[in-house]
Structure formats: C-alpha cells, structure tokens
Amino acid sequence: MDTLTAIETRRAVKHYDPAHEMTDDEVDRLMALALLAPTAFNIQNWRFVLVRDPELRSQIREAAWNQAQVTDASLLIVLCADRKAWEKDPGRYWRNAPQEMRDMIVPAIDRYYRGREHVQRDEAMRSCGIAAQTLMLAAKALGYDSCPMDGFDYDAVGNLINLPDDHVVAMFVAIGKAAQEARPRGGQLPREEVVVIDRF
C-alpha cells in the first residue's frame, strides 16, 4: 500500500479479532519502521513496551476503562519516553557523523535540555506522537488496523510496567485485524477553519 492510501484509509479501529496473532517477522518489521521515526537531536527518546503477557494485558485493560482493544488486538504497545535521554551518553546519537558535526551538535543537546524540564517532557510527547503515527501508517501498509489510545490511568499503567522514574507514558497503540469496521468519520472541520496562512 502506498503512503497516501495508508493516510486516507487509516482509522481508529476499536474491535479486533482476538484469535489473530501477528508473526514475529511482522512485529520485527513494524518495530524496525517505528525506529525510523524522527526525534529532536536524534536522541531517540521513545521507548516501546510491547505488552505480550496476557495477565498484564488484562490488568492494563482494567486501568483503561475496560476497553476491549487492549486485550483483543494482536499487539499492544505502550509508548513511553525517557525524559533524560538527552544526558545519557549523547555522543552515541551522533557516533556516525563527522567529528566537526559531533563537536557542534553534542554540546548543543546539553544546552537545549539542561534545566528545562518542560522542554524535556514536551519533546517526549512530540517524539511519541510522531512514533505513534509512524506505527499506525506502517501497520496499515502491512495490512493491519490500529487505534491510538489515551483513555487510561497513566499512573496505574506506569506501575504495571515498572516505568522508571525518569520516563513518562505518552499513549498506547493497539494493532491487529479489525473485527468490525471503524465507525464513520465524525466530521472533519473545514480547511479554512484549521489552515492558517502566515498569521492568525
């Protein structure tokens, strides 16, 4: 499937075939594509928790208002981010770059993030949002449906997955074979309401 068709046909599917299992190769391909999602300064601060344990999936479903896609989708990914990725050996993010580029960018990472907790969190959320869209479009291209999710108890899910203190949970993405089509689109706003040229 080409990219434009994937964008046009991707929908938030709520009902999945619980008997369908993705192959390891399909999951590996999906994650390889997700890891190509861009991040600021290439810090790759997203962390993808693939929830495979059925009991853990059931516990997460309880923390997600009993939404069926948590347990019925073939794959549940809890997208998290390491808010402190910027200070954890940042030279490794640019190890393949020419030395003059490393000398310029690596110190800039520290200057941009140090002491700016809100920027660290904002970047975490931006990175996870981009990664989620990458996952959903890749899933569609591979013949799967998906659902981005933020309707859950973040603290409870963090506890269930042993989230490190310097990480944050951003969202879920459920991926699988649709058991029902998505509902009709609720209604797109007119372009002139949401597209602004130059200034508001």
**Domain ranges for the chain:** 3-194
Kindly list the distances between the CA atom of residue 157 and the CA atoms of 33, 64, 129, 131, in Å, as whole numbers in the listed order.
Answer: 25, 9, 18, 19
Strand ranges across the sheet with 46-51:
46-51, 75-82, 167-176, 145-149
pLDDT in tens, 127-181: 999 999 999 999 999 999 999 999 999 999 999 999 999 999 999 999 999 998 8
Question: Which CATH fold topology does 3-194 show?
Answer: NADH Oxidase (3.40.109)
- pLDDT at position 184 is 85
What are the pLDDT digits (tens) for 67-124?
999 999 999 999 999 999 999 999 999 999 999 999 999 999 999 999 999 999 999 9
Q: pLDDT tens digits for 27-47?
A: 999 999 999 999 999 999 999
Question: Which pLDDT belongs to residue 69?
Answer: 97
